[in-house]
Amino acid sequence: MKTIAAFIIAFMSVLSLHAQKSYLGFSMGGSLPGGAYRKKGLGKGGYAGSGFALAFDGNCFFGKIGLTASASYGMNYLDDQSLKNDMLDHIGDLFPENPWSPDAMIEFTSTQWTYVNFMTGPVLSVSMSVFSFEFRALGGMSFVMPPKRELFISSSDEQWYGNASGQSVRLGYQIGGGVLFHPSSEYGIRLGVDYLQTRTRYDVHYSYQDTITDKTFLEQADFPVSLIHASFGILYYF
């Protein structure tokens, strides 16, 4: 036990040497979806494409170990054509006895995926001359807003309708690292890569109406959201 304690003390002492300066940072870059978030499938996939992300970071160091906090915003494009086709097929399956005519009017509108994260956690920095290498692990809250989607079909006195609504607030985590270039004592540049994992859940409504009939279905989508952020940022040291 004494040997282990001595090793831990020595390790912490080494980490405390040549302390990394604390800083505030702003970064932007690409947001790349993965897993179910990227895949297609009603209720099981997000149809998400590549997008962008912005982040504000604050790192406070105590030696080479510190505490980091991050607030980020991101958006991912939606494969709306694939989603439209799958929704049309699904509405046909839900109301097989009420098919629409080939000349029916079909309207489809959609937005994009958006999300906001507030996370905090430990960070480790290793300095080499004007370069530093960071490794961090964060956890916190993720606010995921699904795309607003509406599908409307009209044929004579019949109408078919599908839409999604709602947003989710879930726990999430983020792990990653970065390379810092700091030629000045006040400013620097950071290149980073982070992996983000959370979940989303929302409701999907389907309905059919004619002069005497009104049928509705309510379904729920619930699947993990995984992303890779590749970013470029500027830093201000304090």
User: pLDDT, tens digit, for every residue of 54-79?
Assistant: 999 999 999 889 999 999 999 999 99
Pairing, β 23-34 against β 187-209? unpaired
Q: Are the beta carbons of 66 and 24 closer than 8 angstroms?
A: no
**Which residues are registered as beta bridge partners of 200?**
223
Q: From 2.30.30.100, 2.40.160.20, 3.40.50.880, 2.40.100.10, which CATH number describes the 2-237 domain? A: 2.40.160.20
The tens digit of pLDDT for each residue in 210-227 reads: 988 899 999 999 999 999
Give the pLDDT confidence score for residue 12 in this predicted structure: 45
Give the pLDDT confidence score for residue 47 in this predicted structure: 97
Positions of the chain with pLDDT lower than 70, given as ranges = 1-19
Give the pLDDT confidence score for residue 200 in this predicted structure: 95
Give the pLDDT confidence score for residue 211 in this predicted structure: 84
Give the pLDDT confidence score for residue 10 in this predicted structure: 46
- Nearest partner of 86 among 47, 113, 114, 48, judged by Cα: 47
Report which DSSP code applies to 201: E
